[in-house]
Amino acid sequence: MPGSPLAGCAAKIEVKSGAASSGADLVKLAGFMAGSFSSSEQAAADTSYFDIRLRMAPIWSERKDGFWLYVEQAVATHEEKPYRQRVYHLTQLSPTIFESDVFTLRAPLPPSRESGRRTARSRRSRPIP
């Protein structure tokens, strides 16, 4: 993607089940992935692990080509400085195969003025294919 603030790769996930899948399954997958997650319990139980925070938020909901999520990871003591920022594009290729295209931001996103959280919209320079 020349000129884009994103660079990407893809992963395919095949779900083996007897039931046929529908677009509702992609909605369900995106719903499971969106949210805030923490490894605090694991870090408390085993000191070889850090308390890491993962946030996944829907973005670009006007797009009709799957689901887009802004993703960031940070150490709990420095949530304001995430060490990983990504954009995930979720699609369903068949009743049993889902694809996640993962895009790396070429430059870290600044915090938004409203909440201190970052926003992928602020760096979007042109439509992503």
Yes or no: say if 53 and 37 are a contact pair by the CB < 8 Å rule: yes
Q: What angle do CA 5, 109, 100 make, to 5 degrees?
A: 60
d(CA 22, CA 48): 41
Looking at residue 15, what is its pLDDT?
53
Looking at residue 126, what is its pLDDT?
37
Looking at residue 127, what is its pLDDT?
39
Count CB atoms within 10 A of the CB of residue 12. 11
d(CA 91, CA 29): 10
Looking at residue 122, what is its pLDDT?
37
Taking only the tens of pLDDT, the chain with its 129 residues reads: 445 555 545 555 555 554 555 688 999 999 999 999 999 999 999 999 999 999 999 999 999 999 999 999 999 999 988 999 999 999 999 988 999 999 988 777 765 544 444 544 434 433 344
Can you read off the two tokens belonging to residue 30?
A: 């995106």
pTM reported for the whole predicted model: 0.71
d(CA 54, CA 69): 12
- By CB neighbour count within 10 A (0-12 exposed, 13-18 middle, 19+ buried), where does 117 fall? middle
Looking at residue 100, what is its pLDDT?
92
Of 86, 87, 37, give the one whose Cα is nearest residue 67: 87
